[in-house]
Amino acid sequence: MDSTEKAWKPTDGGIAAPKGFYATGVQAGIKYKDKYDVAIIFSDVQAQAAGVYTRNLVKAHPLYLTQRHLKNGMARAIVVNSGNANACVGEFGDQAAFAMAEVVGMYLGLEPEDVLVASTGVIGVEMPLDRVLNGIRTASSLLLNDVVKGIRGHKEMADEGAHRAALAIMTTDTMVKEYAYELPCSQGGVIHLGAIAKGSGMIHPNMGTMLGFITTDAFLSSEDLQRILREAVEESFNMVTIDGDTSTNDMVLLLANGSSGIAPVGEDRVNFEKMVKSMCIELAKDIARDGEGASKLMEVSVLGAKTIEDARKIARSICGSSLVKAALFGEDANWGRILTAAGYSGAEFNPESVDVLLGDLIVAQAGKGVAFSEDRAKEILGHKEVHIRLNLHNGEEQATAWGCDLTHEYVTINGSYRT
C-alpha cells in the first residue's frame, strides 16, 4: 500500500453507520422554534465505552452523571440536547440530567446507568425540562419504530435519522460535522466507524474542547477504547483553539458494540487506531474551520522540535494568539507575531535557528526576516486555508494545530449569546 493510501474509505450513515447503532434528532423547542435540539444515539446491544472530558474545574451536571455511568465501561445510549448547558444551576441540574437518562431508559428498555447524557448551550439557566423530556420521548419512540421496522434496510431513512442527530447537537455551528468510514479487514469482514461533533466557540485545548460522539461495531474492551480515544484526542481535539475558552460541558465519547464480530488484531488493529485518529482530526479541522465568525482556517505545523510536547506547545500557542489571528484576518504577513507566540509557549528552542514559512513562502530564516514578495504573501493569506510552518532545527519531532482568524463577527456573536 502506498504511504499516502488509507486502508479505510468514506461511507454513508454518519453516527449510525456501524452495525447495531441507530440515531435520530427531533425539534423540542428548547431555545429556538423549528431547530433540531434533542438527539439520541442507541446501540441494540451492550457496548463497551470510553470518555474524555473537560478539565475545567466548573463542570456541567450531565458531565458528572456521564462520568458516574461510565465507571463500569459500558453503555447502550447517549442522549444530547442543545440550547441549554444544564450547568451551574444547583440540585435542579443534577435532577434534570438524571431525568434525561431515566426517560431514555424507560422508553428503550434500559437501565438509566446505561445512558450517557450531554448538554450544550447557555450556562447558568435552568433548562426547560418539560420540553427536553417531551423531545426525548418523541426521539425514543422514533428509534423504537426504527428498530422494530429494521430501518437499517432502508438506507435513506437511516441516514436521515443520523443526520438529524448531527443537526440536533449544534449551537452556533454553521456546518454539520459528521463522518463515517469503513475498514475492510484482512481476516474478512468490515469494521465501521461513525461520528458527529459540535463546536464553534469556547474551543481550546485541555480536553475536551467540544462535544464529540463516536461509534464503531468493532469488538474492543473499554480499556483499549480509553487508550485509543485519549491518544486520538491528543493529536486532534487537543490541538484546536478558537478563542482560548474551554467550556463546562466538553466531552468526547466512544462506543463499541462488537456487532461486526471483528476484534481487530495485527495490521487491522493498527489501521483501526489510525482510522479513529484520522476521523478525530477531520472533525477537529471542521471545528476550527467553523470557528465563530471565522473566515479562514489556520493550520500551524512545527517541525524540528526536540520533543513532541515542545512542538505541540508552539503550534497551539501560535493558533491561540489573538494577534496572529487578527493578522490572519487582515491578511498581514506579520511573521514577528508568529515567532513571538512561539517564544511565550513555554517550549525550549533557540529563536536564532527558527525558519518561518507562510505556505511555501519563506518570510524569516534563522530567526531574522528575509526579503519576500508582499503580493505573494497577501495572496497566500487570502486563501480560505492558510498554512504556517516553523522549523526549529532542534530535533526530529513535529506537531500540527488548527485555529481560525479573529473577525468582527466573533464579537457580534458572543456579545449577545445569552439572549
Confirm if 170 and 83 have CB atoms less than 8 A apart: no
- What's the CA gap between 381 and 383, in Å, rounded? 5
φ, ψ of residue 85 in degrees (nearest 5) = -80, -15
Q: How many helices (H) and strands (E) does the chain have?
A: 11, 15
To the query of whether residue 307 is one of the catalytic residues in this protein, the response is no
Using alpha carbons, select from 237, 359, 252, 255 the residue that is nearest to residue 298: 359
Query: In this structure, what C-alpha cell is assigned to residue 29?
Result: 423547542
**CB-based contacts of 170: which residues, under 8 Å, 6+ apart?**
36, 82, 176, 198
Query: In this structure, what C-alpha cell is assigned to residue 228?
Result: 485509543
206: left (phi over 0), alpha (psi -120 to 50) or beta: left
**CB-based contacts of 196: which residues, under 8 Å, 6+ apart?**
14, 15, 162, 165, 166, 169, 176, 177, 178, 212, 213
What 346-352 contacts at long range (C-beta under 8 Å, 24+ apart), as own/partner pairs, is: 346/313, 346/317, 347/305, 347/309, 347/310, 347/311, 347/313, 347/314, 347/317, 348/306, 348/310, 349/305, 349/306, 349/310, 349/314, 349/392, 349/394, 350/392, 350/393, 350/394
- What's the CA gap between 336 and 356, in Å, rounded? 9
- What's the CA gap between 251 and 51, in Å, rounded? 7
Host H or E run for residue 363: strand 361-365
- Measured CA distances, 345 to 4, 37, 240, 319, 362 (Å): 32, 38, 15, 11, 22
Using alpha carbons, select from 217, 223, 164, 215 the residue that is nearest to residue 194: 215
- Sign of the C-alpha dihedral computed for residues 121, 64, 217 and 200 taken in this order: positive
Among the options 24, 209, 241, 246, which is catalytic?
A: 209
C-alpha 116, offset from chain centre? 17
Q: What 8-state DSSP symbol labels residue 260?
A: T
Catalytic residues: 209
